[in-house]
Structure 1
């Protein structure tokens, strides 16, 4: 078997590592941060969510983009044609990893908007529960919204995870 050029090996390593890291980052928020946030009073809870949201919307899409570019490069450069199985696998890795954007826009945006509105409403509130949190329709309290967001975020984290598995499979097969 011929040795692959260093650029190909680097792209494989970067693509797999970046999509796995992105998935880990996203999933850790749902598995570790969200349950911790939910024990806080709503004004603190929504501030914590907002801080993570702001950091995550900068970091995770950038990491996913690095992965997508790496997989796209591999699909195009190494195997050259779309009828080659590895080209399709790397292309699929890129496409699945890209799925975090439409999933976020179509699956999570309404919850994001509600939480961003809660953050604005509670800006400057003390650490106690805000009076407007009482008597809301089911599913509209800050805690219910953050809990729902955490579950939706689990789904988002699966996209780059599947991309990493497909990229690894293409690399090792």
Structure 2
């Protein structure tokens, strides 16, 4: 394989793996740390205990994580996919059969499709949960004094549900991280296969 193809293979595979691990980290480290109960040493976060931070602040923190991730991870996945697209184009006329019974080009296109699956998954599967958390994070808590009793009860109920919604979001987000992970796996397998083939 020419050097430019090897470099593109490395960028595509490593970029997909970084995107997968970064997205998964939000679910496995960031969200559990946000919802930690107050001063319980030696305990990890659980979704059935009251967090040490008020619900409006939790969703504010989540919104900051979400906005940062939205700016970074799709770009990283897109850049990795561009590298895989370059490899797909460069190996399009390869006489050797590719892995999985596919041509080399189709193999890299499959890696791209898997990696970019984070976008439709976010839109189709996570939108309702994202919108619920965004609405909570941006609600006007300063207007609490003028609310009727049933409106205050609704707000209190929303606050009580925040930890559960964050836990559900963490599970969905962890599932989303599997898309670039599969893309990285396909890219890695194709790269290794291309090295060991005669």
What is the aligned counterpart of 1:78 among 91, 111, 116? Answer: 91
Match for residue 41 of structure 1 among 31, 49, 54: 54
Aligned length: 163
Please say if 1:164 is aligned against 2:161: no
Normalising by structure 2, report the TM-score. Answer: 0.75
Q: Decide whether the 8 Å contact of 2:20 with 2:178 is kept in 1.
A: yes
Note the C-alpha offset of 1:79.
2.9
By how many angstroms is 1:68 displaced? 0.9
Shift of 1:162: 0.5
- Corresponding residue for residue 57 of structure 1: 70
**Structure 2 gap segments, 5+ residues each:** 37-52, 144-151, 194-198
Give the Cα separation in 2 of the matches to 1:26 and 1:122.
Answer: 29
1:133/1:141 contact within 8 Å kept:
no
Q: Confirm or deny that 1:67 pairs with 2:64.
A: no
CA distance in 1 between partners of 2:93 and 2:79 (Å): 20
Could you list the per-position Cα deviations for residues 43-99 of structure 1 after superposition, in whole angstroms to 9, with x for gaps in the alignment? 221111011001000000000001111111111222347x85322211110010010
Q: Tell whether the 8 Å contact from 1:42 to 1:142 is kept in structure 2 after alignment.
A: yes
Give 5+ residue unaligned stretches, structure 1: none
Q: CA offsets per residue over residues 15-68 of structure 1, 9 Å max, x none?
A: 001000000100000000111112332122111101100100000000000111
TM-score normalized with structure 1 length: 0.86
Q: CA RMSD in A?
A: 2.2
For the structure 1 residues 140 and 159, does the alpha-carbon distance in structure 2 shift closer, same or farther, using more than 3 Å as the test? farther
- Give 1 or 2 for the bigger CA radius of gyration: 2
Q: CA deviation digits over 1:95-143, x for unaligned, max 9?
A: 1001000000000011111111001115669xxxx9644335xx98221
Measured in 2, the distance between the counterparts of 1:13 and 1:163 equals: 13
